[in-house]
Structure formats: structure tokens, C-alpha cells
Amino acid sequence: MSQFLKPENALKRAEELINVGQKQDALQTLHDLITSKRYRAWQKTLEKIMLKYIDLCVEMRKGRYAKDGLIQYRIICQQVNVGSLEEVIKHFIHLSTEKAEHARSQAEELEAALDVDDLEADKKPEDLMLSYVSGEKGKERSDRELVTPWFKFLWETYRTVLEILRNNSKLEALYAMTAHRAFQFCKQYKRTTEFRRLCEIIRNHLANLNKYRDQRDRPDLSAPESLQLYLDTRFEQLKIATELGLWQEAFRSVEDIHGLMCLVKKTPKASLLVVYYAKLTEIFWISSSHLYHAYAWFRLFVLQKSFNKNLSQKDLQLIASSVVLAALSVPPHDHTHGASHLELEHEKERNLRMANLIGFNLETKPESREVLSRSSLLAELVSKGVMSYVTQEVKDIYHLLEHEFLPSDLALKVQPLFTKISKLGGKLSTASSVPEVQLSQYVPVLEKLATLRLLQQVSNVYQTMKIETLSGMIPFFDFSVVEKISVDAVKQKFVSMKVDHVKNVVIFCKVSLESDGLRDHLANFAEQLNKARQMIYPPERKPSKLGALLPSLTDVVAKEHKRLLARKSIIEKRKEEQERQLLEKEREEESKRLKLQKITEEAEQRRLAAEFEQRKNQRILREIEERQLEETQALLQEAEKRIKKKGKKPIIEGDKMSKQTLMELALTEQVRERQEMEKKLQKLAKTMDYLERAKREEAAPIIDAAYQQRLVEERILHEHEQQKEVELSQQRHEGDLLEKERLVRMIGNKEIYQERVVSHRQAEFNRLRREREERISRILQSRRQEREKMRKLKFYLKLEEERQEKLRAEEEARKLEEAERRKKEEAERLAKLAEIAEKQRQREQELEEKERKRREELLGRTTEAALKTSEPLARPPDSVSAAPAAAAAAAAPTAGKYVPKFRRERTEGTGAAAPPPETDRWTKPDSGDRWRSGDDRRPSAFGSGSRASSTWSSSRNR
């Protein structure tokens, strides 16, 4: 990297390198100078260097170098001379645009030059071979080689300039101008991709501008001039987006404009609002958002009526007719009917968003905004008097579609009106901000609306109707289209109908009993029934408060206890909060003390710095005074020397004179010497003038004679050269004639060869065309077969799915029927078991009662007492069977219920008598004990094991 003492040296070096063809080295030299930290002070030379640098960058298409240089130059002249940066950037844009236009004009001239009849006359064989191999036209190749690189560089230029000026408040106008030129570039050359990127770049610049508010040179959007520039840029962006057909980008531009308005909370000018709403109508119409399209037209009509006083009555009538037709074009049924909760929330959010865009409503409370709907819009149009401006045809259409009930001839009456309004419209006058209004665009939507109204009215009158009759009542569409419209209406629950193609009829029916008319009657009927029930069964009197409070007294005490505990915890929390506040207060006081101490220390440091600065200034002043004294002494000595040389008497006393006096004397002396020198020069000039005049008078005749002699010599030379040229021309003509006679013999062979080449190429072309047609036919045939195969496969899959679904439904019905049958059998079995158990229990009770009576008769009361006293000595055989009987009697209340095993074992262990000794097992038991020992471990199906054994023992004993 070479270092230069002055910037001018670098500029001279760069020009020298350019003259010898080393442009890259010249560019690198200027780039090193601009990016060097040595030259940070702006001067006029730097602007010249920057202009030369930009010229080199554009000529060599070095966009990266240009961006680096402009960034460094912005740092240099941002605070000193920002106008210089503006001039450099304008030069950069102008030069890039000029190069791109020049390249495009060269490409067009090249294409015009190539458009000749005989291609073989001007093209070389290599060029012809290249054109056959590449298959590329001349214009495409020239565009790729000449135009595309310069267009890329121009696009990069716009991006670079926008990036450099994005946060510069002093060059907002240049930023807006660059954005407008970039928009025009995208519009002129149909660059949709670059337009989307440009919109995103500008949107990001604004977002960063709002995000980082602490930048030094940040533009102030609250200023009216800045806001107007940004709004003009967005409106230009909106216009170009609609002209290029980028409706998504146009909608985002509308949101950008609305965001700017929300940012400063200021309504823009009426002229801009008219453009805003006009573009909104186009965007909403393209997106099939007819409701928002109608609202935008209504806002546009209000603006035109209020602010445009020069608008003619005819133009106002056309705009009002567009408003009413747009409102009628809104579908009459609610699209959110039957939607999910998520879809409803999304639709609500979309409505609020569109309401903000259409009405510029900046309030944040959702309840303050009105709901957008077709009915509310039509009511507002009537209340605002818009109907008084529309044409008679539009009024008739409105009354027929909204207020008349004509189920048989509604479509026939509105059809001629549709024909009339389709011819209305056209370009408006220059006073209108809307260029053109076409009412014919609403006719297809209105025909669909008339069809819906006819279906709705017919469904209220008829139950069935033939398809031919209904199709004859609707002359707009075929019945297939009417069927599609009716499917959508039935889906939205606007009309209830069915189409039976087998019987060739249309059936109108109600989908539910709870219609709008019946719902109110049922509610009134329920209220009357409630009143009658209260009269028949009056409410009971309230019990006493004491009786109501006594059962809840325990709850009241528990609640009071909980309340006291909660109060105690609250008191503890308040104490902790108070302590925390005290600690916080102490901490704040400590921080204040430290801050005050820091402020005191800073003040002390500032005082010391001020004293040091004062001492430094005093020292500098003393040095200045000493330097002035030394300069005064030097001037005094020089003046004395000059006076002594001239032989004059010195009249200067150095000790008593100041520097100012010496300087005045020196200036006086210089003026006097200059005057003397001028007199001498005037005298010398006069002498030289006389001398020069004498010389020229003497030289004039000599020069005239030499001139005459030169004329004679040149005339002789010219005649000699002309004679020589005539002789050479004659010789060349004779040689050309001989060559022509020699080449005439080849003309026949040349024509034969040419005809052979042309026929060969024609045959080759025909062969290639036949092959291409055959290949295309094969591809079409294969695709047709593939579509047929896919159609059959889909049909087969659909049939298979229906069959599987039918089998699945039959299987589920069979399983359900089997489960019902099993439940029924199980219930019957349980009922039989319960009946058997009940009979068994009754039989056991009867047997026990008989056994008890028999024992009382045989033994009596006294014998029973004696047996009880002698029981420890010897247990009679009957006592063994008495314990099971008692256990059975105790278990009798639970007869017929399932008893778990552990309960049966516990009942046997507590209620039954102790088992006999081990030796009794080997004795010969009686029949009752044998049955009991065999059945004692196995519980009965209707009771415990002991109960069953006692029953069977009693029956055996009997």
C-alpha cells in the first residue's frame, strides 16, 4: 500500500495508471487512499477523487469496491459536508443507469443488424455451427452477454445506495428518490423478483429505524416532511405492485402505510387516501373479499364526495353505483357458520385487521370497533343517502334482490337490468382521482346472488319442483352451475334442499325443527309452564334460621379457625414485607449515599481537570507571547538590515515597538517597493513592445516570399501524386476484369452446391420435425393411459373402502347384538339363581322351626338347663349339631348373597363348636357327623359351610 503526502498525488498517480491501461491498479490506489485513516478531514480534492473512483467502479462493474468507498466517504463528510456525499451518490446512480441504457441500446442495434435476409453472407461457419448447437436466438445471447451484467450492476447500485442512506436524516429526499427510481426500474423491465426484494429491504429499514431509536443521525418520523417522504415511497410501492400484478405485495404495502399512520397517529392527506382506497378495492376484488371490497368503495365514495368539489354528477353517480353493487355482491350467507373455535378466532382477528385497514381505526379496544357485515353495510348506505346518487337500474336491482318476494320470475326481471348495467362505466373525468369505473365486473357475482335469492324464496313456497322447471326459472346458468351454487348454500345452511336425479326433482325441506320462528314460541311456552307449575305447587316456607345454622355450626367454627390462621399468615407476611421494605429503603439510602459520593468525586475531578486546563491555557498563552516577541525581534533585525542596505537612516527602536507596528511598517515598505517594481516593469514592457514591433516589420516580407514558394512546391507535388493514382487505378481495374473472367466459370457449380446443401438441410429439418411429433404423440398416449389407470385405481380404491366400511358396520352391529343377547341371558340366569336361593332359604327356615319345636317338646326347659350345667363334663351328641344350627341362624339374614372366603372362615371359627379330639376321627361316627365332616371344608352355594352341614344333619337325623 503506497502512502501519499497529499491526496492530489494519489489522483495524479491513478490518472497515470489509467492512461497506460492499468485500471485495476488505479482503482486499488484510490481505494487504499479512501479507506486510509490518514485522510479523515474532508476537502474538495477528496470529492474529485471519489468521483474518479466511482467512474472506475462503474466502468469495471466493481460493486463491492463502490460500496466500501461510499461507506468510508460517508464517515468523512457526514458531519462536515453531506451535500458532497449527495453529489457523489447521484453521480453513481446516473452513471450506472446510463451504462445500462447504453448496453440495452447496443443489444437492440445488434439485433437489428442481425435481422437480414441472407444469413450465410455475414456469418462465419463457426457462428452458424454455434447457433445450431446452442439452439439460442441472437437476442437472448446478446441480452445475456451485454444487457444482463449491466442490469445486475444497476440493481446492485440501487441496493447499495439504499443501504448507505437508510439511517441518514439529512439525505431522506435522496433515499426516497433512489427508492422511486428502483421501483421504476422494476416496472420498466418487469422485474417482479427484484421488486419483492426491494419492498422487503425498505420494510426492514423502517423496522430497524423503529427498533433502534438511539442512533445519532436517525430520521425523525414525527416530522411532517419525513413522514410525507416515507408515505410517498409506500404509495409509489403500492402503485407499482398493482401494475405488476403482485397483489400479495400490494397488500403488504397497504399494511406498511397503515403501520406508518399508527406510528404517528395522524391521518394523511385526502389525495393520498383516495389512492389508498382505490388500490384497496382492486386488492380485495382480486382476493374475492367482497365485503372488504365494498367497504373500501364506500370509504372512497365518502372521501370523493367530501373533499372533491369539482367532481361531476355523472362521475359521482358511477362511483355510488359501484358502492351499492359491491355491497350487493357480498354473499348473503355467513361463511363462519358451523366453523370450529380456531377458525372463528382467526376470522375475528381477520375482521379486526381489515377494519383497521379500511377505516384507519387506531383504537386498541376491540369493543369500540363496529362489526363488518353485509347487513350493516347496506343499512349504512341507506342511512347515509348513497341510494339517492345511484342510477335507476341499480335501485331496481337493490329492491328486487333485497325487498321483493318473487319466487317465480325474480331472475327474469333482473336479467335485463344486468344487461343494462354491464354497459355502464368507463373512464371518469380528470377531476376524479379514480381513473376508471366498470360496473360489468359485478354482473357474474350478482347473477349468483339472484340465484341464491330465487332458491331461498322458492324453498319457502314449494316442497318439490322439477329440475327442468327450476332450470327454466334461472336463465343465467346451466343446472350444473346452479347445483354447485346450491351445494355451497346448503353447506352454509342458507337453503335446505336436495337434488334427486333419479326422479329428476328438487326437494326443499327443513333440516331441523328448531327454526328461527319456532324457537321463540318454545321459549314463551316454557315460561308459561313454569308460572303454572309455581301456582300449582307453591314453594315451601323457609325453615327457622336457628335450625338451619345448628347443623352448619361445626363448618362455621372450622371456617373461622381457617380464617384466623390465614389472618395470622397474612400478618406474618406483612411483617416480612415491612422488613423487606426497610431493608430496601436502607439499600436505597446506601445507593443514594454512594451516588452522592460518586457525584462529589466527579465534581472534584472536574475541578482538578478545569484547573489543569486553565494552567495549560496560561502556559500556551505565555508560549504564544514569547513566540510573538521572538518574531518581533526577527522582524526588527530584518527591517534594520533592509534599511542599511538602502543607505537610509534607521529610525526604528526595537525595544519600544510592538509586533503589530513592525508588521505595519513592513507592509508599508512592501507596498512602496511593489509600486517601484511596477513602474520598472511598465517601462521595460514599453521597450520590449517597440523592439518586437520592429522585428515583425522586418520579418513580414521574408515570410510572405517563403509562403509563395511553398505553394508552388505543393501544387507540383499534388499533380504528381494524382497522376500516379490514376495509373494504379487503371492497373487494378484490368486485373479485376481478368479475375472476373476466371471466376465466371464457377457460378454453375456454386449454385449446384448451394441447392444440394439447402435440400439436405430441409430433409434433416423434416426428419427432426416428424420425430418430434411422434415423440409428443407417444408421450400424450402414455399420459392418457396413466390417467386412465389412475382413474380406475381410484375408483377401485373407493369401492374397496366402501365395502370395508360396510363390513365394519355389519361386524359392529353383530357384536352389539351378541353383547345384548349375552346381557339378557346373564340377567335371566341371575334371576333364576336368586329365585332358587330364596326357595332354599325358606325351606331351611321351615326345617329349623320344626327342629326347634321338636327339641322343646322332647327335652323341655328343665332338661335344657341341666344339659347346660353338665356341658363341661360330657358333651352330648346333640350339642355338636346345635352350634352349626346357631351359626346357620346367625347367617340367615345374609342368605342369598355372596360371602367371601375369609368371612366364611372367620364365621366358622367363631360360631361353630370346637372340633372333637384327634381320637374321634378313628371312631365310628354317625351318619350326621360323617356328612358334616365331609362337607365341613366346602362352603355351600347359598350360605356358609356350617350352615349347610347343620341343615343336612337335621334332615339326616329326622
pLDDT in tens, 101-110: 887 777 776 5
Alpha carbons 110 and 152: distance in angstroms, whole number: 20
C-beta separation of 657 from 636 below 8 A: yes
Which phi and psi (to 5°) does residue 27 adopt? -65, -40
Q: Is residue 784 pLDDT above 80, yes or no? A: yes
Q: What is the pTM of this model?
A: 0.47
For residues 361, 362, 367, 369, the Cα torsion angle rounded to the nearest 10 degrees is 0
CA angle (746 as vertex; 744, 749 as ends), nearest 5: 145
Q: Is residue 143 pLDDT above 70, yes or no? A: no
Range with the poorest average pLDDT among 254-268, 327-341, 885-899: 885-899
Q: At what angle do helices 224-244 and 192-211 cross, to 10 degrees?
A: 150
SS3 507: strand
C-beta separation of 437 from 319 below 8 A: yes
For residues 260, 264, 267, 272, the Cα torsion angle rounded to the nearest 10 degrees is -30
SS3 425: strand
Distances (CA, A) of 105 to 112, 122, 373: 10, 21, 55
pLDDT band (50, 70, 90) for residue 710: very high
pLDDT band (50, 70, 90) for residue 508: confident
Range with the poorest average pLDDT among 41-45, 54-58, 132-136, 537-541: 132-136
* Torsion 417-421-423-429 (CA) sign: positive
Q: Is residue 548 pLDDT above 70, yes or no? A: no
* DSSP state letters, 847-897: HHHHHHHHHHHHHHHHHHHHHHHTTTT---HHHHHHHHHHHHHHTGGGTTS
Q: Is residue 610 pLDDT above 80, yes or no? A: yes
pLDDT in the model for residue 650? 47
DSSP class of residue 512?
-
Distances (CA, A) of 100 to 88, 137, 174, 180, 193: 18, 21, 21, 17, 19
Query: Looking at this protein, which amino acid is placed at residue 555?
Result: D
Q: How many CB atoms lie within 10 A of CB 76?
A: 20
**Does 621 or 872 have the greater pLDDT score?**
621
Q: Is residue 926 pLDDT above 50, yes or no? A: no
pLDDT digits (tens, 9 = 90+) for 714-749: 999 999 999 999 999 999 999 999 998 888 888 888
Alpha carbons 919 and 903: distance in angstroms, whole number: 29
Task: Give every CB contact of residue 449 below 8 A, 6+ residues apart in sequence.
Answer: 328, 329, 331, 332, 401
Alpha carbons 14 and 28: distance in angstroms, whole number: 9
330, 328, 326, 323: which is closest to 304 by C-alpha?
A: 323
User: Can you list the pairs that 627-633 forms with residues at least 24 positions away whose Cβ atoms lie under 8 Å?
Assistant: 628/659, 629/659, 631/659, 632/657, 632/658, 632/659, 632/662
pLDDT band (50, 70, 90) for residue 776: very high
Sheet holding 505-508, edge to edge: 464-466, 505-508, 497-500
Which helix (H) or strand (E) covers residue 499, if one does? strand 497-500
C-beta separation of 160 from 70 below 8 A: yes
Alpha carbons 183 and 236: distance in angstroms, whole number: 8
Max Cα separation, the chain? 199
Burial of 519 (0-12, 13-18, 19+ CB in 10 A): exposed
C-beta separation of 500 from 507 below 8 A: yes
**Taking the chain, what is the end-to-end CA distance rounded to the nearest angstrom?**
136
Most confident of 504-508, 640-644, 820-824, 903-907: 820-824
**Does 365 or 82 have the greater pLDDT score?**
82
Q: Is residue 12 pLDDT above 80, yes or no? A: no
C-beta separation of 327 from 374 below 8 A: yes
Mean pLDDT, residues 245-260: 78
Pairing of strands 425-427, 436-438: antiparallel
C-beta separation of 256 from 319 below 8 A: no
pLDDT digits (tens, 9 = 90+) for 280-326: 777 777 777 778 878 878 887 888 777 776 677 777 888 888 888 88
Distances (CA, A) of 851 to 882, 930, 942, 946, 955: 11, 20, 20, 17, 9
Q: How many CB atoms lie within 10 A of CB 502?
A: 5
pLDDT in the model for residue 819? 93
Alpha carbons 958 and 948: distance in angstroms, whole number: 16
Q: Grid coordinates 517594481 are at which residue?
A: 677
Average pLDDT, the chain: 75
Q: How many CA atoms lie within 13 A of 376 on its CB side?
A: 8
C-beta separation of 77 from 84 below 8 A: yes
Query: Looking at this protein, which amino acid is placed at residue 563?
Result: R
Mean pLDDT, residues 211-218: 69
Range with the poorest average pLDDT among 31-40, 509-518, 565-574: 509-518
Q: Is residue 913 pLDDT above 60, yes or no? A: no
Alpha carbons 863 and 869: distance in angstroms, whole number: 10
pLDDT digits (tens, 9 = 90+) for 807-860: 999 999 999 999 999 999 999 999 999 999 999 999 999 999 999 898 888 886
pLDDT in the model for residue 264? 64
pLDDT digits (tens, 9 = 90+) for 676-697: 899 999 989 989 999 999 999 9
For residues 133, 136, 142, 145, the Cα torsion angle rounded to the nearest 10 degrees is -60
pLDDT digits (tens, 9 = 90+) for 162-172: 888 887 777 88
* Torsion 404-409-411-412 (CA) sign: negative
Q: Grid coordinates 335371566 are at which residue?
A: 828
